[in-house]
Amino acid sequence: MIRIFLAVLVTALSLFALPLAAQEAQSGSGEQWSSIAYDEWNSAADRAEKLIADRETSSEELSEIREEIVRWRQSFQQGQNVNGPRIKSVRQQIEALGAPPAEGQTEDDEIAQRREDLNKQLSELQAPRIAAAEAASRASAIIDNIAEIQAFRAAAELTESMPPPFMPSSWAEAASSGAELAARYAESADAALKTDGSVWEQLKERLPSILSYLVAAAIILTYGRWWVLSLPKRISVRASEYSRAVVVFLVSLGQIIVPLIGIYLLVSAIEASNLAGEWTIPILGALPSAAMIWYGGRWLAQMLFPAKSIAYDTLEMPRPLRIKAYRTAVLLSSIFALHHIMAWAILPPSGAYSRVGDQVTRVPLDMSDGAASVFNFILILLAGLTVFRLGNILRSLTKREDASSLAYRHRLLSWVGSLSRVIAVLSVLLGFFGLINLANYFLWPWILTVALICLLIVLQDFIADVFAMMHRGAEGAREGLTPLLIGFGLIILSIPLFLLIWGERKEDLAELWLQIRKGFTFGGITLSPGVILTLIIVFAIGYTITRGIQGLFRNSILPKTKLDSGAQNAVVAGLGYVGIFIASVMAITSAGIDLSSLAILASALSVGIGFGLQNIVSNFVSGIILMVERPVSVGDWIEAGGQQGIVKRISVRSTMVETFDKTEVIVPNSDLISQPVTNWTRHNKVGRIIVPVGVSYGSDTRQVEKILKEIIEDQPLVTIDPPPSVLFRAFGADSMDFEIRAILSDVGAGLGVTSEVLHQIAIRFAEEGIEVPHPQRDIWLRNPEALQMKPGDPDMGAEAKAEEEKPAEKADEQLSDDEFHRRYDPRVTFDKDADDAAGPDADADGDGDGGDR
């Protein structure tokens, strides 16, 4: 990662070094720019404006005048940077004189004279810049006008209608043109074979070179092509597992390069013979690029839809569907290559080939519009059907149960497949009704677009494979962030290619790049690629230095000090915040951004902080307070917000606490500042434990106290000063309550000590016969004999009869205290066996109520 960063840094600095050096050389003096021929410029600008106003001006003339105006504008743009050091120096001198006097005030005559002289010098130094800026503005306006005219003409050309191909007359013209073309090629071949003696004499002189070209081309196109096709499989067997994909990819490029060399040698042999005439030369000129289209398309199809993958599958597809996709892609490449030869050398210029129509040599065939419409429509129909079939295959990539788990490329290509079907049908319909140029504009650029998308997918896999090879096949290397960012960068860099495919002119791209280089201004801040790159590089350097200093302090300096681990972490974190702040300021100033321009943005942010970001700011400030005051440090055992645990990390916004069940709790820093926090181990680990113990009534309390004291004093973590104590706390409802209170040298072991003490208590109490009571309740029943008699029994006592004759319900407020207690006290119990033995009227407990309690 560091090597990649350094490589990018060196490349970026080298790219910026030359422009900056040139700018310094240009801005050194204004003498060379004061001699700009503004008279010639004004004449050229007037002529350009007249041509723009004239509707009869051809597109070629507009292109020529545009190139001339662009050269003038480049000179003016360079002229806007002259006298830079001198202007800066004079401005500093003027600032050194102080602010000019306010209205109604005066200043010393010498200072006033000096200020006037300096202002005059500044005006003279700025004059070339102002003149160049004015001229550059006029040049830009002329260029924009020409671009608008060219775009309008291109749109009008695309919508031109040709004779529909379904007309019988169009087919007749096409047949006539095809017959003438075949006859011409037959005549050319016959003439080449029936050469006179002089031609054979010339051929004899060039025969060795011609034969060498032919032999080399034959070997490369036969044996060489077979060798290259079989090479990836042979190499993949010998390559290591983590480098196999990279090696196979690099070797597979020979499937394009080697056949192209053979085609070039074949064309060179024909050209060296001087037998090619005006009907053959255009075909030979289009053949290399057509071969590039066919071999490149075949290679791309092989990479995306291999019959048998060597390292992994780029796309998850069933093998029959993959073979079908490969054959369809190869067929489409063949049709595209044929279309390129026809459009480049035979058919009249139209659509994407209209701009190079006058720059290439075509066969001398006067083809009518009807014939051109038929030939174009045949190619459009063949390509449209193939594109439609390929679209169906791509759409099926997500027509499966596990589609949601597939990579994003599958969904992208599925969307491409759906759109391919629409474009194929639309292009065929447009061509059928005679809108050949518009059909060509949609169909062929879309094929190139799909090919470029597939190429980006293949290159992204290759980049991931390179990183996997660098990490020797480590798990997750292919899916890392760096390969993803590089792949995203490739997508950004491919945008101009997409624009060129869809008909954007190189001149328009140059204008777009010029606007991007100038940057976009908002809020007084201008952002351009140079500014952003400088910002990123300077901040990355500052960030790297900050991390290095943090590591130096953490590993080398702070361990040698007397600071505890919490203080060391606070120092390291503080260095990180200060370093990032300094790196940010340096990056902003190095990029040329005026910090005063951020005042409006800062004021807007302050309003947002006041409303929506107040909690974040509160946590941030609280985090700083925690690091400065350090009431809580890493490693402390704290209790806050109902959670207990060990502090693992203190960040700017929050603190991470690991509970004793190993769960992580994120506590906002503001809660640690504004709410009570119990820190068990802040200054030391000493802490107290309290162990409650209950014994049954009737136990010897002194003996219990002695046993508990012996047990707690035997614990090794219990301190001697202060000594542990055993307290008799209360007579409880079920037991006599004691407490063991002891100070531990490490309160973190409190749970273990408590557990061991309880174990010892259980053993000693069992040995001494001391009972640990269970919770119990006494139940008291009035007139238990009533449970033995039925209502109306003659043996029922007078009191029971009287009780039976009482109302069924008696309000609680009418009961006496003693009666209420007997009825509702849960501690009342009844001993039935004792009453049965004593007789029905017995009072075993002597309380006069006839029952036991």
- Sequence-separated (6 or more) residues with CB below 8 Å from residue 71: none
Whole-angstrom Cα distance, residue 852 to residue 831?
A: 6
691 bridge partner residues: 740
Whole-angstrom Cα distance, residue 36 to residue 79?
A: 9
In this prediction, residue 380 carries a pLDDT of: 93
Q: Which residues of the chain are modeled with pLDDT < 50?
A: 1-34, 352, 356-358, 808-813, 815, 820, 824-853
Helix, strand and coil percent figures for the chain, each rounded to 5: 65, 5, 25
Whether the domain at 626-682 and the domain at 687-768 fall into the same CATH topology: no
In this prediction, residue 28 carries a pLDDT of: 44
Contact 630, 622 (CB under 8 A): no
Whole-angstrom Cα distance, residue 81 to residue 73?
A: 13
In this prediction, residue 429 carries a pLDDT of: 94
Tokens of 790: 């039925």
Structural fold of domain 687-768: Alpha-Beta Plaits (3.30.70)
In this prediction, residue 594 carries a pLDDT of: 66
What is the distance in angstroms between the CA of the first residue and the CA of the last residue of the chain? 86
In this prediction, residue 727 carries a pLDDT of: 92
In this prediction, residue 328 carries a pLDDT of: 95
pLDDT tens-digit series, residues 501-558: 988 878 778 877 777 777 666 656 677 777 888 888 899 999 999 999 988 988 888 8
CA atoms within 13 A on the CB side of 276: 15
Q: Angle, to 10 degrees, between the axis of helix 225-238 and the axis of helix 244-252?
A: 170
The matching CATH number, chosen from 2.30.30.60, 3.40.50.620, 3.40.50.1220, 3.20.20.70, for 626-682 is: 2.30.30.60
Taking only Cα atoms into account, the Rg of the chain, rounded to an integer number of angstroms, comes to 48
Strand pairing category for 736-744 and 687-695:
antiparallel
Question: What residue ranges do the domains of the chain occupy?
Answer: 24-158, 168-195+275-512, 523-612, 626-682, 687-768, 784-838
In this prediction, residue 8 carries a pLDDT of: 42
Question: Model-level pTM greater than 0.85?
Answer: no
Whole-angstrom Cα distance, residue 653 to residue 617?
A: 8
Phi, psi of 806 (to 5 degrees): -70, 160
Which residue type sits at 185?
Answer: Y
Whole-angstrom Cα distance, residue 731 to residue 788?
A: 38
